[in-house]
A and B are shown apart, each in its own frame.
Chain A
Amino acid sequence: MIGGLFIYNHKGEVLISRVYRDDIGRNAVDAFRVNVIHARQQVRSPVTNIARTSFFHVKRSNNWLAAVTKQNVNAAMVFEFLYKMCDVMAAYFGKISEENIKNNFVLIYELLDEILDFGYPQNSETGALKTFITQQGIKSQHQTKEEQSQITSQVTGQIGWQREGIKYRRNELFLDVLESVNLLMSPQGQVLSAHVSGRVVMKSYLSGMPECKFGMNDKIVIEKQGKGTADETSKSGKQSIAIDDCTFHQCVRLSKFDSECSISFIPPDEEFELMRYRTTKDIILPFRVIPLVREVGRTKLEVKVVIKSNFKPSLLAQKIEVRIPTPLNTSGVQVICMKGKAKYKASENAIVWKIKRMAGMKESQISAEIELLPTNDKKKWARPPISMNFEVPLAPSGLKVRYLKVFEPKLNYSDHDVIKWARYIGRSGIYETRC
């Protein structure tokens, strides 16, 4: 199990050091600094073995978080834990900067004591942790006995994420379907790989311990539930989508999903990610990029890029940015674009073309002349792909929320009383076209 946890700043100075096991000595702190942080070469692996001691690290805003062990630990668990720790810290004090870490070091020690015991991760749900670890000293001194046992049962309980006895005047819930669409396209417009990774984020203000049931237009779910009512299957079958795989927040009853394909859960009283999913079939690609690069002699490049929007004309895409890489020996760039603004950024070796808004079924184009310095470098320019960023108000996977039913048997409000909101946002993930 995890033997120790260290946080370093970018220079390699120790900000936090917590040792859980006897086999990790103080020299481990220095070993990591010398061999990884100050290493001459680029880091080649997130797991490093130095003298039979293994170091796992992740970086967050220039700070290094390292977990150390001498045993054959579950590596996936260690990384998941490190991410979780970052989430917990972020939930308490925001950005994981050197200053924030120093300012909150007592709190961090307290958290580390709680979420990791002898190197075994314990409950790390911020909702539960915040009930008894706070920045303003410890609450527990003023708690009644009932409150205390409520805390402990929440921390250890079957439903570790929800407190009992929450009441809201207005029962309301928000569902966000956030998708990022990833694409790798050949210069000829052939899709090399494309997938959507989506998340359903829920924020709820619901009283009591409501039992929720979530439904979407997934092929398997619809087929399974549509048994008997053949009409519905054929009706909705057209719009159903094939989800390759999905994962759920720990509040979802996985065994129920496995047997009945129904997604049922008691939501935590905070914003949380209900599910993640991935689709690869019938993806709507909101934009198409058509590149044209011509080398004119050894000192000049001509680039023309056309983008086409491919969704309903009534919808508007936002925050569109096209990034056209330029060779390292670029001396000057001249750009002409029909829409938006384009600039050559020498520090980033790219032409960045920004468009604020663009409606569906439109197209726009940019052309640029790139002057090159003559070089002796034999190696050809690698021509990195043209990448794109955007945001569209639709789900590129075609996913639709069909229902979210709320049942709270103890309190007297019904599904109809709950106000529900849903929105769809599609963003670009890694959206690249080779040129």
Chain B
Amino acid sequence: MTDSKYFTTTKKGEIFELKAELNSDKKEKKKEAVKKVIASMTVGKDVSALFPDVVNCMQTDNLELKKLVYLYLMNYAKSQPDMAIMAVNTFVKDCEDPNPLIRALAVRTMGCIRVDKITEYLCEPLRKCLKDEDPYVRKTAAVCVAKLHDINAQLVEDQGFLDTLKDLISDSNPMVVANAVAALSEIAESHPSSNLLDLNPQSINKLLTALNECTEWGQIFILDCLANYTPKDDREAQSICERVTPRLSHANSAVVLSAVKVLMKFMEMLSKDLDYYGTLLKKLAPPLVTLLSAEPELQYVALRNINLIVQKRPEVLKHEMKVFFVKYNDPIYVKLEKLDIMIRLASQANIAQVLAELKEYATEVDVDFVRKAVRAIGRCAIKVEQSAERCVSTLLDLIQTKVNYVVQEAIVVIKDIFRKYPNKYESVIATLCENLDSLDEPEARAAMIWIVGEYAERIDNADELLESFLEGFHDESTQVQLQLLTAIVKLFLKKPTETQELVQQVLSLATQDSDNPDLRDRGYIYWRLLSTDPVAAKEVVLAEKPLISEETDLIEPTLLDELICYIGTLASVYHKPPSAFVEGGRGVVHKSLPPRTASSESTESPETAPAGAPPGEQLDTVPTQGDLLGDLLNLDLGPPVSGPPLATSAVQMGAVDLLGGGLDSLMGDEPEGIGAPSFVAPPAAAVPANLGAPMGSGLSDLFDLTSGVGTLSGSYVAPKAVWLPAMKAKGLEISGTFTRQAGSISMDLQLTNKALQVMTDFAIQFNRNSFGLAPAAPLQVHAPLSPTQTVEISLPLSTAGSVMKTEPLNSLQVAVKNNIDVFYFSTLYPLHILFVEDGKMDRQVFLATWKDIPNENEAQFQIRDCPLNAEAVSSRLQSSSIFTVARRNVEGQDMLYQSLKLTNGIWVLAELRIQPGNPSFTLSLKCRAPEVSQHVYQAYETILKN
């Protein structure tokens, strides 16, 4: 007799039959009927009408029947809350049963019934079960607390279950401990601020002990919980690591990955010079490789994680290239991931092997895989210069196969190779041109057009080639249209005589017949450039392009750090932070790696850090001129290199206006006939729509200012604070502040005479300080200061004084003398007065520098309660000479990359992460002199909050 027959009841009227059977006297028949009900439920039929009849079967000695009824209850109780109450009695009774299995079953099931009335009755039995003598009941009750918390969090707190749960962490049975940890971790996630888990060295010790004894699943819960702990110093981190490493030999891959997570995170705190650090690195590689012999689904999870680990610590797997070679029978998802890691690990040492493999892959069947392999060859060429030649010849071989998608992919990567090694491989252009007709994908067409335009002078029939594309201009995708426009303009600048007609044709197509604003704008720019100053046009259009960087699609450094904290979880599989795929507040707590202990100043956690700054003293101020300017000039005027689309489009718009303002009249003087009538619209009128700013004709004036912005800008000025109270200085009260205007720093002082006698003969002197601040002129108080009189003086400062590192870095000791005495006081100056106006770093330089500065120099801070959006932030910071180099939007978050330079030439790079709607920002600072980070952060805080 088998159970499968229950799946085949499809007759009409079966509900009535079932009802009769459920109420039958015969036990066997009853059980049969319940089974049928469950089978119907499984396939998705609504059997809720049978609720009372099924619940009636609950009071039985037959455990199998009981479990089935419970299963039914869990499914339908919510839809029939009033009737579900009928079941309460049985539950409560079962919780007292002498058999621990039945007690546990009752408490387990009760927690799954989401009906308020039942929940109330659950409290007492649950309390008993949490203290049950049998560990099986306790471990079930521990999970039940989490269930109850999910239904009614308040109730759990009120009833004190959380404390009982905490006690269970010290339970003698390891499985009880594991479940308690799991439950507490989950509850803690929904209360990020509460210190529910209360991890301290003692409790960590308990967890580590339980780790050795509990089941594989329990080990995972405990390791995942440990990963949330931040050890107080490197010694503690090391001792935890030592106790976690044995887990790397566990047969369960999840245990291994969770252990890797703990180690990767705590390694951050260990000094690289430590012997142990090296040992640990060596220990990580073998288990990661072993994961690749697991089942394919787990391999996939492992590979996604290895991808992260390789980016964070390339040294771990640098010798393990071979294990990532693709096997013929690997599922496609494993193949693609392996390929990705192969490219990341490619280096001069192993490039020959890698290339041989990639060539092999390029002949496989799966289209995606082949494409990726071809692209990988190109990436190798860019990454390892020595191999470039071999890569190019391999690509040419592949083009000879004439397989359509291979050819297209190869052309796309060859374009990148040209960008990296200009004027080196032009000999292949002829071969590329042969395949022009077979290209049907926009990316490949655009790449080919780019190549033709870039090397127009070497291709005899470049004009014919481009003309052939022009015929179907309107059917092309935007990408191709833009590329075609640029390529033809390049061609025109290189061979002006033969191609005048062509360029006019494309310009009118782009400006008159297109609805695409990007295309139109670009068309206008070229048009005006060409018609006003062809020489300038040549300089702009044919300018030398910055080299492309070798590593592509690297994960954002802060995102990478966050993902390292999520090793093994879904976030690490998706390569997205949990907030991107988890609903609501659950599990969206932002995690970050612990700071390094080596740099002592940045170890303060973000919460405690602002305590050093005096935020309370700083009141609202009237926005200075700089602020206003910044808001209006809310534009990134950086060079339009390939970058985030948002920033570039803003640049392009700005550029149009810049040109328009000055060139308008010039254009009018050009009767050549290129300027179509529709085009003469005055730029100022067209601009506001683009910018969305309520400024009309004034705009051109504003833009005149742009050249001056750099020098004119004044940074934020804090209100004056009392530096020297009258009590301490025999009646002289000094308050003051620091300002930076137009590149010069000054100390604005207010001297008040609160004594009864006249004060004269003022002089001022500074002690040596970190940045060499010194008065640039003597303190000039022209008239004697009579009692109750106040005088305002601005003392210009220079940074040419002698330098001595002070503690804190930004403290300044000042001596003021008058006819009465000499007085001393010390004050802190805000660091942003030291930010120089030419602190904008080139985008490429920025990228390189960011990578170049070691990770331990990175410091992370939290800026709280700042309601500004990215634009406002950027402009406000710019007015204090913190420049936004680039801006990206990642997963809905705005990432601002900023640079600033101090008077002594120290560069500070910053990454500011802004989540729309979230008033706290994350600021990561990288600097070769990490001790300034803390003060830069304070400067940020001051500028943004005022």
Name which of A146-154, A162-170, A403-411, A417-425 contacts chain B.
A146-154
Question: B295 contacts A247, CB within 8 Å?
Answer: no
Q: How far is the CB of B438 from chain A (nearest CB, A)?
A: 10
Question: A255 contacts B246, CB within 8 Å?
Answer: yes
Chain A's closest residue to B243 (CB) is: A255
Name which of B47-55, B378-386, B532-540, B564-572 contacts chain A.
B564-572
Question: A157 contacts B173, CB within 8 Å?
Answer: yes
A207 part of interface (Cβ distance < 8 Å): no
Question: B250 contacts A250, CB within 8 Å?
Answer: yes
Contact check: which of A45, A56, A76, A432 meets B302 at CB < 8 Å?
A76
B702 part of interface (Cβ distance < 8 Å): no
Q: How far is the CB of B889 from chain A (nearest CB, A)?
A: 20
B796 part of interface (Cβ distance < 8 Å): no
Measured in the bound complex, the distance between the Cα atoms of B333 and A58 in whole Å is 13
Question: B217 contacts A255, CB within 8 Å?
Answer: no
Q: How far is the CB of B230 from chain A (nearest CB, A)?
A: 20
Question: A54 contacts B42, CB within 8 Å?
Answer: no
Contact check: which of A46, A156, A257 meets B176 at CB < 8 Å?
A156
B497 part of interface (Cβ distance < 8 Å): no
Chain B's closest residue to A13 (CB) is: B43
Question: A75 contacts B569, CB within 8 Å?
Answer: yes
Contact check: which of A49, A56, A57 meets B581 at CB < 8 Å?
A49
Name which of A99-107, A208-216, A295-303, A351-359 contacts chain B.
A99-107
Q: How far is the CB of A327 from chain B (nearest CB, A)?
A: 12
Q: How far is the CB of B65 from chain A (nearest CB, A)?
A: 10
Question: B568 contacts A74, CB within 8 Å?
Answer: yes
B98 contact set on A, CB distance < 8 A: 145
B528 part of interface (Cβ distance < 8 Å): no
A42 contact set on B, CB distance < 8 A: 332
A155 contact set on B, CB distance < 8 A: 136, 175
- Contact A120-B221, Cβ < 8 Å, known A71-B586, A245-B289: yes
Q: How far is the CB of B15 from chain A (nearest CB, A)?
A: 19
Measured in the bound complex, the distance between the Cα atoms of B101 and A20 in whole Å is 20
Contact check: which of B64, B295, B568 meets A83 at CB < 8 Å?
B295
B234 part of interface (Cβ distance < 8 Å): no
Question: B217 contacts A120, CB within 8 Å?
Answer: yes
Question: A56 contacts B587, CB within 8 Å?
Answer: no
Question: A385 contacts B328, CB within 8 Å?
Answer: yes
| Interface 0/1 of B536-572, CB less than 8 Å to A | 0000000000000000000000000000001011111
A257 contact set on B, CB distance < 8 A: 246, 249
Measured in the bound complex, the distance between the Cα atoms of B173 and A70 in whole Å is 31
Measured in the bound complex, the distance between the Cα atoms of B288 and A244 in whole Å is 11
Q: How far is the CB of A299 from chain B (nearest CB, A)?
A: 20
Question: A46 contacts B250, CB within 8 Å?
Answer: no
A378 contact set on B, CB distance < 8 A: 401-403
A69 contact set on B, CB distance < 8 A: 570
B794 part of interface (Cβ distance < 8 Å): no
Measured in the bound complex, the distance between the Cα atoms of B287 and A184 in whole Å is 22
A145 contact set on B, CB distance < 8 A: 98
| Interface 0/1 of A1-43, CB less than 8 Å to B | 1000000000001111101111100100100000000000010
Residues 235-266 of B at the A interface (beta carbon under 8 Å) = 243, 245-247, 249-254, 256-258
B99 part of interface (Cβ distance < 8 Å): yes
Question: B100 contacts A138, CB within 8 Å?
Answer: no
Total number of residue pairs linking A and B with CB closer than 8 Å:
286
Question: Mostly helix, strand, loop or mixed at chain B's interface?
Answer: helix
Chain B's closest residue to A22 (CB) is: B114
Question: B64 contacts A120, CB within 8 Å?
Answer: no
Chain B interface residue number, banded:
35 or more
A275 contact set on B, CB distance < 8 A: 251
A249 part of interface (Cβ distance < 8 Å): yes
- Contact A248-B217, Cβ < 8 Å, known A49-B581, A138-B64, A430-B329: no
Q: How far is the CB of A164 from chain B (nearest CB, A)?
A: 16
A380 contact set on B, CB distance < 8 A: 363, 401, 403
B39 contact set on A, CB distance < 8 A: 105
Question: A80 contacts B43, CB within 8 Å?
Answer: no
The interface centre, meaning the residue of A80, A113, A379 with most chain B CB atoms within 10 A of its CB, is A80
Measured in the bound complex, the distance between the Cα atoms of B720 and A260 in whole Å is 67
Question: Mostly helix, strand, loop or mixed at chain A's interface?
Answer: mixed
Measured in the bound complex, the distance between the Cα atoms of B99 and A380 in whole Å is 70
Question: B3 contacts A105, CB within 8 Å?
Answer: yes
- Contact A80-B298, Cβ < 8 Å, known A72-B571, A113-B67: yes
Residues 137-159 of B at the A interface (beta carbon under 8 Å) = 137, 139-140, 143-144, 146-147, 150
B150 contact set on A, CB distance < 8 A: 21-22
Residues 94-147 of A at the B interface (beta carbon under 8 Å) = 99, 102-106, 109-110, 113, 117-118, 120-125, 132, 137-138, 140-141, 143, 145
Question: A148 contacts B101, CB within 8 Å?
Answer: yes
Contact check: which of B249, B252, B323 meets A193 at CB < 8 Å?
B323
Question: A149 contacts B217, CB within 8 Å?
Answer: no
Question: B570 contacts A79, CB within 8 Å?
Answer: no
B586 contact set on A, CB distance < 8 A: 71
Measured in the bound complex, the distance between the Cα atoms of B139 and A118 in whole Å is 12
A91 part of interface (Cβ distance < 8 Å): no
Q: How far is the CB of A388 from chain B (nearest CB, A)?
A: 13
A338 part of interface (Cβ distance < 8 Å): no
A71 contact set on B, CB distance < 8 A: 570, 582, 586-587
Q: How far is the CB of B135 from chain A (nearest CB, A)?
A: 4
B144 contact set on A, CB distance < 8 A: 118
B298 contact set on A, CB distance < 8 A: 76, 79-80, 83
Q: How far is the CB of B342 from chain A (nearest CB, A)?
A: 12
Measured in the bound complex, the distance between the Cα atoms of B320 and A278 in whole Å is 14
Name which of B208-216, B481-489, B516-524 contacts chain A.
B208-216
A140 contact set on B, CB distance < 8 A: 63, 99, 101-102
B443 contact set on A, CB distance < 8 A: none
Measured in the bound complex, the distance between the Cα atoms of B102 and A153 in whole Å is 15
Question: A244 contacts B43, CB within 8 Å?
Answer: no
B247 contact set on A, CB distance < 8 A: 254
A258 part of interface (Cβ distance < 8 Å): yes
- Contact A152-B574, Cβ < 8 Å, known A106-B35, A117-B143, A278-B290: no
A138 contact set on B, CB distance < 8 A: 62-64
- Contact A244-B289, Cβ < 8 Å, known A47-B570, A121-B217, A254-B212: yes
Contact check: which of B108, B137, B252, B300 meets A46 at CB < 8 Å?
B300
A160 part of interface (Cβ distance < 8 Å): yes
B654 part of interface (Cβ distance < 8 Å): no
List 5 A-B pairs, minimum CB-CB distance, nearest first.
Answer: A245-B286, A152-B136, A102-B4, A76-B254, A77-B254
Instruction: List the interface of chain B (C-beta within 8 A of A).
Output: 2-4, 6-7, 35, 38-39, 42-44, 61-64, 67-68, 70-71, 75, 98-102, 108, 111-112, 114, 134-137, 139-140, 143-144, 146-147, 150, 173-176, 179, 182, 186, 212-217, 220-221, 224, 243, 245-247, 249-254, 256-258, 286-287, 289-290, 293, 295-298, 300-302, 322-323, 325, 327-329, 332-333, 353, 357, 360, 363-365, 401-403, 566, 568-574, 578, 581-583, 586-587
Task: Knowing that A75-B572, A105-B3, A247-B250 touch, tell me 14 more A-B residue pairs with CB under 8 angstroms.
Answer: A16-B42, A76-B253, A77-B220, A77-B568, A105-B4, A110-B64, A138-B63, A156-B135, A156-B173, A184-B327, A249-B251, A278-B290, A430-B327, A430-B328
Instruction: List the interface of chain A (C-beta within 8 A of B).
Output: 1, 13-17, 19-23, 26, 29, 42, 44-47, 49, 52, 54, 56-58, 69-77, 79-83, 99, 102-106, 109-110, 113, 117-118, 120-125, 132, 137-138, 140-141, 143, 145, 148-149, 151-153, 155-158, 160, 184, 192-193, 195, 197, 244-250, 253-255, 257-258, 273, 275-276, 278, 378-380, 382-385, 387, 430, 432, 434
23 contacting pairs across A/B (C-beta < 8 A): A15-B42, A46-B297, A47-B570, A71-B587, A73-B569, A73-B570, A74-B568, A75-B568, A76-B253, A76-B257, A76-B568, A77-B254, A103-B2, A109-B67, A122-B175, A140-B101, A156-B173, A156-B175, A244-B289, A247-B250, A254-B249, A380-B401, A385-B328
